Amino acid sequence: MIHLERISRLFRSDEVETTALTDIDLTVEAGEFVAIMGPSGCGKSTLLNILGTIDRPTDGRYLFEGDDVAKEPEPELARLRRDRLGFVFQSFNLIDELTIGENVALGLAYRNMPSKEKRERVDAAMDRVGIAHRRNHHPHQLSGGQQQRAAIARAIVGSPKLILADEPTGNLDTENGAQVMEILTELNAEGATIIMVTHSPAHADIAKRTVHMLDGRILTSARRAA
């Protein structure tokens, strides 16, 4: 499903040039649940952003289902994100001005779809993560766990093939973290491919494969014994 070849990413400011990723090669098959681990600043989030096409590599090839998306124009990438990707962030990234229901609906806002179907899918996604009763609240009225579940609902409302999760449990307590991991595991069991950045070895253990990174490179990539 995903094939990265010699991906690198440089950040340039006026004076400083920082290498975030160097020669990353990575292949992820459909249906995998991959955890990415590594110390802060090792390039995990940058890698995830590039996988999610919200950042572009400086160099290298990125094949998504056979298409080289590193060179695709922006409207194509927007369509790719809209139709095939779902994002979950550590800081939830819900929009404060919108209610939970509206935030979840945002996952379908840019699709052509009858509004009845949109409503049904939003309801289903919120039921699925157990926050339907919070539909009319604003994000700041919810606990962190509820906010993250709302963010997951937003990510899955469009039935994406790939879910990218950037430390989805990083801001949550153990119990809420466990709930989120449960949902992700279920989604993976239903066929979604998941790539997750995490600091938690326990949560990484839930994934089928763990990729270890250091200073912008992949150290090891180990599959969990079946």
Partner 1 sequence: MAGSALLTLYRSLTRHRLYAILNIGGLALGLAVFLVLFLYVRYEHDYDRMLPGADRIWTINSAYDIPGFPAVNISTPQAMLGQLQADFRGLEGARLTMIDDATVKNGNALTSGIVAEVDPAYFDFFPFPAVAGDPRAALARPDGAVITQGLATRLLGEGPALGKTITLIFGGAAHDYQVAAVLKPMPGNMTYASPIYVPMPAAADTAGTPSPYTTLFLRFADAAAAHGFEQHLPAFVDRHPPDGFSSDSKKPSDFLKLTLLPLAAVHLIEPRDRAVVATLGLVGLLVLLIAIVNYVNLATARAGLRAREVALRKVLGGTRASLVAQFLVEAIATVALAALIALAIAELALPFVNTIGGISLSIDYLGGHSILIPLAVMILLVGGMAGLYPAAVLSHFRPASVLASARSPSGGKAGARLRQALVVLQFAIAIAFMIGTGVLVAQTAHMRDADLGFRRDGLIAVSSFSADGLDGAQRAELVHAFAGVPGVADIGLSRQTPGDGSINILSYQNNDHKITVQQVQTGPGFFQTFGAHLLAGRLFDARHAGDDAFGVTPDDLAKHPRNIVINATAAKALGFARPADAIGKDAPFTQSVHPLIIGVIADMRFASPREPIQPTVYQYDSRATDNMIATVRTAPADVPAVTRRLAAVWRRIVPEVAFQSITINQQLYRQFYQNDAQRSRLFTIGAVLAVLIGCIGLYGLASFDTARRIKEIGIRKTLGASTRDIMRLLIGQFLRPVILANLIAWPIAWFAMRKWLSAFDDRIALSPLYFLAATLIAVAIAAATVFGQAWRVARAEPARALRYE
Which residues sit at the interface with partner 1, rule CB under 8 A? Answer: 46, 49, 52, 54-56, 74-75, 78-83, 85, 87, 89, 93, 95, 97, 106-107, 109-111, 154, 158
Nearer to partner 1 by C-beta: 184 or 206? 184
Q: How far is the CB of 110 from partner 1 (least distance, A)?
A: 5
Element (H, E) at 61: strand 59-64
Q: How far is the CB of 19 from partner 1 (least distance, A)?
A: 16
Three-state DSSP state, 168: coil
Nearer to partner 1 by C-beta: 80 or 131? 80
Distances (CA, A) of 198 to 30, 39, 175, 178, 214: 20, 10, 16, 13, 14
Residues 220 and 214: beta-carbon distance below 8 Å? no
Q: How far is the CB of 182 from partner 1 (least distance, A)?
A: 24
Q: How far is the CB of 194 from partner 1 (least distance, A)?
A: 16
Three-state DSSP state, 162: strand
Nearer to partner 1 by C-beta: 38 or 107? 107
C-alpha dihedral over 200, 201, 202, 204, to 10 degrees? 90
Nearest-CA neighbor of 188 among 209, 151, 162? Answer: 162
Three-state DSSP state, 198: coil
Nearer to partner 1 by C-beta: 32 or 166? 166
Number of helical H runs and strand E runs in the chain: 7, 10
Nearer to partner 1 by C-beta: 69 or 206? 69
Nearer to partner 1 by C-beta: 61 or 111? 111
Buried b or exposed e, range 124-140, using 16+ CB within 10 angstroms:
ebbebbebbebbeebbe
Q: How far is the CB of 55 from partner 1 (least distance, A)?
A: 4
Query: Tokens for 94?
Result: 């819900």
Q: How far is the CB of 78 from partner 1 (least distance, A)?
A: 4
Query: Tokens for 207?
Result: 């994934």
